[in-house]
Amino acid sequence: MKLSTRSRYGTRLLLDMARSYRKGPVQLNAIARRQKVSVKYLEQILIPLKKAGYVVSKRGPKGGHMLARPPEDITIGEIVSLLEGSPELLECLANPGICDRSDECLTRPVWKEAMTAMQEKLDGVTLADLLAGERSEGKTGNGGPPAPQTDGESG
């Protein structure tokens, strides 16, 4: 499975906000600068995050964006599911009826197990967990631990 830049940057966006949790709103242009992502792209990612209740915004001179929930209550799996859509590796896992071989397919159980393992792993890691790892490793700044390379781009 390839994670899109949308999921990777969405996770980095929320991680950046998590660093400032309970300290007040963070301006999107500051996040964009730290994460080396365009403001326009982050604005597009922010829309579904706000609609789903992960982010709230405050207008005005000291305005910006902040997490609507504590970092320990937001899993990476939630973020990826929201920004990627269906977590299924293959369409036939969600809808066996689309393939006339689903009943006798020998590889289908392997794909299902792989998808389940990945989803369980992502659901078991919160923003707070990533920040705790960052602190224990002495890292600060642009996004915490590096994301796995999936498409030739940096995480």
Which DSSP category does 3 fall into? P
Instruction: Give pLDDT tens digits for 36-66.
Output: 999 999 999 999 999 999 999 999 888 899 9
Percentage of the chain exceeding pLDDT 70: 82
What DSSP string runs through 74-133? -BHHHHHHHHH----SSHHHH-GGG-TTTTT-SSHHHHHHHHHHHHHHHHT-BHHHHHHH
Which DSSP category does 92 fall into? H
Question: Averaged over 116-126, what is the pLDDT?
Answer: 92
pLDDT at 153: 43
pLDDT at 90: 73
On whether the pTM is more than 0.85, the answer is no
Question: Averaged over 136-140, what is the pLDDT?
Answer: 58
24 pLDDT higher than 80: yes
Cα–Cα distance measured from residue 83 to residue 25, given in angstroms and rounded to the nearest whole number: 22
For 5-137, the fitting CATH number among 1.20.1090.10, 1.10.10.10, 1.20.58.340, 1.10.1070.11 is 1.10.10.10
